């Protein structure tokens, strides 16, 4: 990507989420809701981690949010006319710029929910995509045959 937007992301590793759902079924109180999140990570940090593990160029140029909203609206309009999928929508901009500070404290205290570091998730996802030949990695990470996903 040539540019990004300032914002944040809060994603939980699918392995942690699966364990959390099982714990919720086994230990959760009837009628209660549990947030299973990680910590918010800036989009710049997400781009940096993807670059670190794939060798793709790092995204350093950030478009102001108001400009990204205008671009997203224009792209969405043209996708209706061309019937081609749009890569940036107003909803994507909203999700990346809203408050992504969620607390898993209740799930942690009542269910024993735990999350691995976000960097570990990105590293393991990159390895998975590489092993399934969905991406090609050009840095040392890909050339390390001993590299295995974290348990």
What pLDDT does residue 88 have? Answer: 87
Q: In the chain, what are the domains?
A: 8-131 (3.40.50.720)
What pLDDT does residue 86 have? Answer: 87
Alpha helices (runs of H) in the chain, residue ranges in sequence order: 14-27, 43-54, 65-82, 90-97, 105-111, 118-131
Q: Give the dihedral of Cα atoms 97, 99, 100, 101; nearest 10 deg.
A: 150
Answer yes or no: are the C-beta atoms of 6 and 67 closer than 8 Å: no
Over residues 46-50, mean pLDDT: 90
Note the pLDDT tens digit of each residue in 51-100. 888 888 899 899 999 999 999 999 999 998 999 988 889 999 999 999 98
pTM of the model: 0.77
Using the structure block, give the residue that is written with the tokens 């710029």. Answer: 97
């Amino acid at each position: 990507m040539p540019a990004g937007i300032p914002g944040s992301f809060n994603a939980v590793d699918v392995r942690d989420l699966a364990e959390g759902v099982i714990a919720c079924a086994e230990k959760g109180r009837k009628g209660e809701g549990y947030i299973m999140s990680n910590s918010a990570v800036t989009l710049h940090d997400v781009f940096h981690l993807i670059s670190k593990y794939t060798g793709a160029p790092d995204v350093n140029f950030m478009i102001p949010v108001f400009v990204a909203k205008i671009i997203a609206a224009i792209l969405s309009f043209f996708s209706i006319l061309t019937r081609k999928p749009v890569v940036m929508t107003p909803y994507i901009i909203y999700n990346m710029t809203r408050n992504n500070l969620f607390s898993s404290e209740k799930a942690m205290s009542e269910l024993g929910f735990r999350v691995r570091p976000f960097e570990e998730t990105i590293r393991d996802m990159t390895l998975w995509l590489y092993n399934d030949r969905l991406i090609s990695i050009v840095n040392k990470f890909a050339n390390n045959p001993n590299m295995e996903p974290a348990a």
